[in-house]
Amino acid sequence: MVSRAVMFQRYGPPEVLEVVDVEAPTPGDGEVRLRVRAAGINPFESKLRAGLFAGQIPVSFPAAQGTDVAGVVESIGAGVDTFAPGDEVYGASARRGSHAELALAVPGQLLRRPAALDWELAGGLWTVASTAVAAVDAVGVQAGDLVVVAGAAGAVGCLAAQLARQQGASVVGVASERSHAWLRSLGILPVAYGDGIAERLRAAARAAGAALAALVDTVGGGYVALGVELGVAPERIDTIADFEGAREHGAKADGQSALVDIPAAVERVASLIVAGSVALPVAACFPLERVRDAYELLEHGHPPGKIVLTV
């Protein structure tokens, strides 16, 4: 039995990605095999494929890729009693292999898909939902806080901004102008990035009549330092993209791995989406065979929301 799967043989740009026939993965003890319906793509995969983590997380070639996944359980390995063939699930794949027709997963990283959660969104939720929860937890959002989210048009950023609002904060979202109307519709005050951003954030705080209490950085490139400059306490700054800045300023760098219960965090965000209290658009869907186009869009400026491969 074969499976079509995205593979790459060397580090490089999206052109190194190929969709090839591989032997169907066999679920080992405690694993399930999914017939994939949708699989989100993430900036982490771009960085891994480009070799930016070659020192810390080397890959062995040929390499598969993809974490986020939604699909139907097709077969189960020994010892699995929480899922059965036919179950519709979403979560994370095991061993980074979700960009394929068939992928392995472990039950502890799977949730049952609510019928009201579209396959595409379910397939792109695990990483960004858990990371957004971790980042909002890290800065200790309280009702009445004025919170800055850098990268508010991104998948993690828009969820973090909305979760902070859910917790009673007012949120300033740093994003390019094309997303400002959308952010306003979510109750987030948009501020453009680029020259003069410090003054625009000060003006936003003056208009709100409150000091900037916390900052969530999903972009890097100086937002940690900017938060400190604007008077935010370092322990109320969290970055998921600027680890050096966090070290330098004593800020936090909590991402998904800071969570004690990742599935519970993802399930909470999914429930808010299903209830219509939180929005995460699907920016674009591409069939598996067009995986290069999907990453080109991710890496060169994409509309707000998740980019998802459909199978």
Q: Is there binding between residue 155 and ligand NAP (CB under 6 A)?
A: yes
Among positions 64, 175, 201, 278, the unique one binding ligand NAP when judged by CB under 6 A:
175
Q: Is there binding between residue 128 and ligand NAP (CB under 6 A)?
A: yes
Per-position x/- string for 228-267, each x denoting binding to ligand NAP as judged by CB under 6 A, each - no binding: ------------xx-------------xx-----------
Q: Which two tokens stand for residue 137?
A: 């937890």
Q: Which two tokens stand for residue 208?
A: 């709100």
User: CB of 145 within 8 A of CB of 215?
Assistant: no
Give 8-65 as a 3 state SS string.
Answer: ECCCCCHHHEEEEEEECCCCCCCCEEEEEEEEECCHHHHHHHHCCCCCCCCCCCCEEC
Q: How far is CA 104 from CA 7, 34, 286, in A?
A: 15, 6, 21
Q: Is there binding between residue 53 and ligand NAP (CB under 6 A)?
A: no
Q: Is there binding between residue 162 and ligand NAP (CB under 6 A)?
A: no
Q: Is there binding between residue 93 and ligand NAP (CB under 6 A)?
A: no
Q: Is there binding between residue 98 and ligand NAP (CB under 6 A)?
A: no
Q: Is there binding between residue 218 and ligand NAP (CB under 6 A)?
A: yes
Burial (Cβ within 10 Å: 0-12, 13-18, ≥19) of residue 107:
buried
Q: How far apart are CA 56 and CA 196, in angstroms?
A: 36
Across-strand partners of 7? Answer: 18, 64
The window from 108-116, 127-135, 141-149, 207-215 that contacts ligand NAP (CB under 6 A) reads 127-135
Binding residues for ligand NAP, rule CB under 6 A, total: 26
Q: How far apart are CA 70 and CA 83, in angstroms?
A: 14
Among positions 36, 63, 150, 265, the unique one binding ligand NAP when judged by CB under 6 A:
150
Q: How far apart are CA 151 and CA 149, in angstroms?
A: 6
Among positions 38, 69, 153, 237, the unique one binding ligand NAP when judged by CB under 6 A:
153
Q: Is there binding between residue 138 and ligand NAP (CB under 6 A)?
A: no
List interacting residues with ligand NAP (CB under 6 A).
42-44, 127-128, 131, 150-151, 153-157, 174-176, 179, 193, 218-219, 221, 240-241, 255-256, 298
